[in-house]
């Protein structure tokens, strides 16, 4: 059996995963009938995550930063990731035509609406095959996080549809889904408190990529990191560990930061801090072009005037 156990996972919650197998051995043989029997088992899954605070270089919290979460896929976790790829029917929530057309626009599909819907449907249905091919070829493979809108959504987009755009960082998180293309990822936007959180994601190697940069700041470099439940994780002390390239998250005190079952929100005292540096001011435009040519011409003119004045003297 395989089950997606992170449905509606929230911090501070515990999901009890239970399975019962009912069987009647040898029921067809009267002389060896033992009656109905059952085996059952259960396991508790903590819905965990971690807090992130976005600041400038002086520690002031920043709004308007957008982040995409990226997961590295290997032979170790490909089966789990395939089960969590966005599909046409996500835990009973079918993708509607409006969302399929939105996907088609993001992927720049052409044709009439019927053609775009068919192409979008084919894309969703082929993701698992494409993912398998990439990993089998030895390609460095990543998938991007995508979220569903809230059940109470009233903007006409539809109940529990994928968000191929931005969402507020304080929006309730539910099931975890992944897509093969960054154009379809859900970008989490920080508000005035600079706060960002993810819940219910599994141990693994991730990248946090700033795709929307606050005005007046430089883009932060992509941050590779290992997310782990504890020091015994396969990605920390097991064969899957690669802490040189994917170091553990650290809190503001530089201490290793494992997944946290006590997400505290914007007032968290245990968080990972990411920061932007302000752009360096310059008299030259960043892209060069006519501005820098004009400045050079002005400089040459000033030099020429100085030479003429020197000769006159």
Work out the pLDDT band at 92, boundaries 50, 70, 90. Answer: confident
Predicted local confidence at residue 88, as pLDDT: 95
Check whether 290 has a pLDDT greater than 80.
no
From 85-99, 147-161, 234-248, the region with the lowest mean pLDDT: 147-161
Work out the pLDDT band at 271, boundaries 50, 70, 90. Answer: low
Specify whether the CB–CB gap between 88 and 123 falls below 8 A.
no
Work out the pLDDT band at 30, boundaries 50, 70, 90. Answer: low
Work out the pLDDT band at 1, boundaries 50, 70, 90. Answer: very low
Predicted local confidence at residue 65, as pLDDT: 86
Tell which wins on pLDDT, 64 or 134: 134
Work out the pLDDT band at 89, boundaries 50, 70, 90. Answer: very high
What domains are there in the chain, each with its CATH number? 1-47 (no CATH), 50-276 (2.60.40.10)
Work out the pLDDT band at 175, boundaries 50, 70, 90. Answer: confident
Check whether 8 has a pLDDT greater than 80.
no
Over the range 15-24, which residues count as b (16 or more CB within 10 Å of their CB) and which as e? beeeeeeeee
Structure tokens at 118: 């068919």
Rounded mean pLDDT, 156-167:
79
Check whether 46 has a pLDDT greater than 90.
no
Among residues 285, 82, 245, which one has the least CA distance to residue 179? 82
Measured CA to CA, the distance from residue 313 to residue 311 in angstroms comes to 5
Residue with tokens 């509606």: 8
3-state secondary structure of 276: strand
Check whether 150 has a pLDDT greater than 80.
no
Check whether 270 has a pLDDT greater than 90.
no
Predicted local confidence at residue 187, as pLDDT: 92
Give 210's strand partners: 67
Predicted local confidence at residue 10, as pLDDT: 41
- pLDDT tens digits for 195-238? 777 777 888 999 999 999 888 888 888 889 898 888 888 999 99
**φ and ψ of 306, to 5 deg:** -65, -40
Check whether 291 has a pLDDT greater than 60.
no
Tell which wins on pLDDT, 190 or 103: 103
Percent of the chain with pLDDT over 70: 65
- pLDDT tens digits for 293-312? 454 455 555 555 555 555 55
Among residues 272, 275, 274, 241, which one has the least CA distance to residue 257? 272
Work out the pLDDT band at 44, boundaries 50, 70, 90. Answer: very low
Predicted local confidence at residue 25, as pLDDT: 59
Specify whether the CB–CB gap between 163 and 137 falls below 8 A.
no
3-state secondary structure of 19: strand
Average pLDDT of the chain is 77
Helix (H) or strand (E) holding 114: helix 113-136
CA atoms within 13 A on the CB side of 276: 26
**Cα 8 from chain centre:** 16
């Amino acid at each position: 059996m395989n089950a997606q156990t992170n449905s509606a996972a929230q911090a501070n919650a515990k999901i009890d995963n239970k399975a019962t197998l009912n069987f009647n051995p040898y029921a067809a043989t009267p002389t060896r009938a033992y009656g109905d029997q059952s085996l059952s088992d259960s396991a508790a899954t903590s819905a965990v995550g971690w807090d992130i605070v976005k600041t400038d270089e002086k520690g002031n919290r920043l709004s308007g930063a957008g982040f995409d979460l990226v997961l590295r896929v290997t032979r170790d976790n490909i089966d789990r990731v395939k089960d969590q790829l966005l599909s046409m029917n996500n835990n009973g929530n079918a993708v509607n035509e409006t969302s399929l057309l939105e996907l088609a626009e993001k992927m720049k599909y052409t044709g009439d609406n019927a053609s775009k819907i068919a192409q979008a449907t084919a894309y969703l249905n082929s993701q698992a095959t494409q993912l398998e091919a990439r990993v089998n070829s030895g390609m460095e493979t990543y998938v991007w996080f995508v979220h569903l809108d809230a059940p109470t959504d009233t903007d006409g987009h539809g109940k529990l549809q994928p968000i191929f755009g931005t969402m507020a960082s304080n929006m309730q998180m539910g099931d975890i889904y992944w897509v093969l293309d960054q154009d379809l990822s859900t970008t989490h936007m920080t508000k005035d408190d600079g706060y960002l959180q993810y819940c219910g994601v599994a141990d693994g190697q991730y990248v946090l990529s700033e795709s929307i940069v606050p005005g007046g700041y430089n883009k932060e470099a992509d941050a590779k990191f290992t997310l782990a439940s504890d020091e015994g994780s396969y990605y920390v002390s097991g064969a899957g560990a690669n802490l040189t390239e994917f170091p553990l998250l650290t809190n503001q005190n530089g201490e290793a930061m494992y997944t946290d079952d006590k997400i505290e929100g914007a007032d968290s005292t245990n968080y990972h801090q990411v920061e932007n540096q302000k752009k360096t001011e310059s008299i030259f435009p960043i892209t060069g072009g006519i501005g820098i040519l004009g400045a050079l011409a002005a400089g040459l003119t000033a030099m020429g005037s100085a030479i003429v004045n020197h000769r006159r003297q």
